[in-house]
Amino acid sequence: MENFNRLNDLYFKKLLGDKKRKNLTLSFLNGILNKDDENCFTDITFLDKDNEPLTLDGKLSKLDIRADLNDGTQVDIEVQVCPFKLMAERSLYYWSKMYSEQLEKGAEYKRLKKAIAINLLAFDYLEDEQDWHNIYNLLNVKSHNKLTDHIEIHFLELPKFTLKDMRKIRASEAWIAYFSGKYSKEELEEIAMTTPAIKEAVEFEDTFLQNKIERRAYEQREKAIRDYYSYMSAFKEEGLQQGIQQGLYQQAIQTAKNMLKDKVDIKLISKYTNLSIEEINKIKVE
């Protein structure tokens, strides 16, 4: 399917949020978190939060995959398609909930495990950063020493991603290339030669699109996103036009005031400002 959106929330959750394909999720996480064969995550347990977005509000293009990894590490994968200015604050909020929910009342702090938030964004967010992958920890502002490794927040900005060398591709780059939609099926097949999980993802994609029910649900979600952008564009344009009209009106009033001070004839003021005689007389009285 041409222009298939792999960040569509319904598709993404079926691809990486299903225990039947947890090997793909582990491949994605181990790649993004730069794990090698010796320290990679080997198992994952999904926590079904049942929070499918149903409306065009802030939940529209946000996907929440929560999971426990085999060493107790908590991970939260968020997908955001529509631009959102407060991604940092929201990510920190969800990270804090994920971290605090580990402990039951009266439990000891030593039971807390590392919590990782991964934000996969379809838009540019970090204006001062050039890299597509940026990682944030809790550091001393002077020495840059890390206070704890329990907090780790990742931002993956797809528009900034460019594959430099397909022959030396890393697993993280292979997955971002797949989700970016910038590369053809032929190029993805070449990428799959070094990252077999991508081949499996492409095969699942074909199966997904052949399912009429799944495809229909996908198309409805895409329509909702298109409608959202159309509404926002219309509101923005309407607001801009209102602002322009308001600005011109205020400028005309100020011009009329200046002309009145210079004792210009009211009819002439009306001609050059497009204000009515009644409006100009009101300004004169005031």
pLDDT tens by residue, the chain, 286 residues: 678 899 988 899 999 999 999 999 999 999 999 998 888 999 999 886 544 444 444 444 455 788 989 999 999 999 988 888 889 999 999 999 999 988 886 788 899 999 999 999 999 999 999 999 999 999 999 999 999 999 999 999 999 999 887 778 899 999 999 999 898 888 888 898 888 999 999 999 999 999 999 999 888 888 877 776 676 666 666 665 666 566 677 777 877 787 788 777 777 777 667 778 888 888 888 7
Q: What is the token pair recorded at 121?
A: 């964004």
For residue 243, the model assigns a pLDDT of 60
260 three-state secondary structure:
helix
- Planar angle of CA 182, 81, 131, nearest 5 degrees: 60
* pTM listed for this prediction: 0.76
DSSP code per residue over 143-182: T--EEEEEEEEEEEEGGG---S-GGG--HHHHHHHHHH--
Tokens of 151: 């907090």
Strand, coil or helix: what is 265?
A: coil
Q: Residue 80: what are its φ and ψ, rounded to 5°?
A: -130, 115
Q: Which residues pair with 138 in a beta bridge?
A: 148
Place of tokens 């959750």: 13
Residue 260 pLDDT: 82
Strand-pair partners of 281: none
What is the rounded distance in angstroms from the CA atom of residue 268 to the CA atom of residue 258?
13
Comparing CA positions, the residue from 74, 14, 64, 15 lying closest to residue 44 is 74
